[in-house]
Amino acid sequence: MMIQATGLTHYYGPQPAIQDVNFSVEKGEILGFLGPNGAGKTTTMRILTGFMPPTRGKVTIDGHDVVEESLQVRKMIGYLPETVPLYTDMTVSSYLKYMGTLRGMPPKKIKGRIADVVDVCRLGDYHKTQIGKLSKGFRQRVGVAQAILHEPEVLVLDEPTIGIDPIQVVETRRLIQDLGKSQTVVLSSHILPEVSMICQRVMIIHEGRIVAEDTPSNLAQRLQGVNRLEIEVGGPINEVLEALRKVEGVADVSHSSSMGKPVFTVQARGGQDLRDEISRAVISSGWSLLSMQTVGMSLEDIFLKLTTNEEL
Ligand SMILES: Nc1ncnc2c1ncn2[C@@H]1O[C@H](COP(=O)(O)OP(=O)(O)OP(=O)(O)O)[C@@H](O)[C@H]1O
Ligand SMILES: [Mg+2]
């Protein structure tokens, strides 16, 4: 196991920011932390990288304790913090050289690696520019560049695509996936499609706790039973709503309109298939059933469900 986190709990004040967080990451895996603002993603990452000791719990990187063997661990980790402490009066290349020296890289090696990361992060035109004069997106690229400079075995990236324009986002995602072929990557995001696109495994964090952990497709499948039916009914909205709600097994019915036609969304309890019952209820009331389709849950729905403690 490359990363092993056990019982991580952290208090900044009276309330825990994270509570009893346990997970492990295998070598070469890309794990995504997904969670809303304030969920505890950054806190967990600060602890993972040895940036801050946890109030309770323990993290090992390839068997090394991040608190007790912090120097050794730091060489193994590349960290893109939420706010990168960039020295604004340095140029991109002098900053990278400085970071390489700090990490004990041999000077000859540093030169070659700067050329590589400048290329990989598309900083070529800006390597002589003062960091203070760079736009937000380019500073973020410098942040990624310093994280991968020393070819760490483990990469911890806190919201790597934030502040980057859409074209660069695509490239950054591709870069992370490439890095993930040889390195172990942990990244955080609050963008669902991003995490499911890049990561092999997703950990959903909410209010400092892990509420779900699985592959993106398993997560979707696990709740696939929770089907919704979308039906178009020719009938008075309130009466239709009432009739549908009376059908055995229906958990919830809502209505919206699509191109002027009312559409009813029926949520079945416990993943039941209610197509038969629903069509009977509509037709026996004398209305016409214009269309019916099953809608699976998107990861977005799952996320909302998991983080709002709603009953499934
Ligand atoms: N330095 C700090 N001092 C006090 N409280 C903090 C500090 N950093 C974070 N917190 C609190 O800890 C909790 C978790 O915050 P954290 O930054 O880890 O969340 P996050 O998931 O990274 O959120 P975001 O998506 O907004 O970056 C929040 O309630 C936050 O207010
Ligand atoms: Mg954060």
Question: Mean pLDDT of residues grouped by 10 in the chain (312 residues)?
Answer: 97 96 96 92 97 97 96 92 88 95 92 94 90 89 94 95 84 88 93 86 92 84 68 93 94 84 85 87 94 74 63 43
| Cβ of residue 16 lying under 6 Å from some atom of ligand 1 | no
Tokens encoding 133 = 């004069």
Name the DSSP letter for residue 296.
P
Give the number of the atom of ligand 1 that is nearest the alpha carbon of residue 39. 21
Per-residue DSSP letter, 125: G
Domains of the chain: 3-221 (3.40.50.300), 225-296 (3.30.70.1340)
Residue 28 and residue 40 in contact, taking contact as beta carbons nearer than 8 Å: no
- pLDDT at 226 (0 to 100): 54
| DSSP structural state of residue 27 | T
- The predicted pLDDT at position 261 comes to 78
Closest residue to atom 31 of ligand 1, CA basis? 38
Q: Does ligand 1 lie within 6 Å of residue 37's CB atom?
A: yes
* pLDDT value of position 311: 45
Identity of residue 72:
Q
Q: pTM of this prediction?
A: 0.78
Nearest CA to ligand 1 atom 28: 38
- 203 and 276 Cβ atoms separated by less than 8 Å: no
**Could you list which residues have their CB under 5 Å from ion ligand 2?**
41-42, 82
Q: Which residues contact 134 (CB under 8 A, 6 or more apart)?
A: 92, 126, 142
Ligand 1 pocket check for 10: Cβ under 6 Å: no
Nearest Cα residue to atom 24 of ligand 1: 37
38 Cα: distance to centroid of ligand 2 (angstroms): 7
* Residue 256 pLDDT: 87
Q: In what order do the strands lie in the sheet with 3-11?
A: 16-25, 3-11, 56-61, 64-65
pLDDT of 293: 86
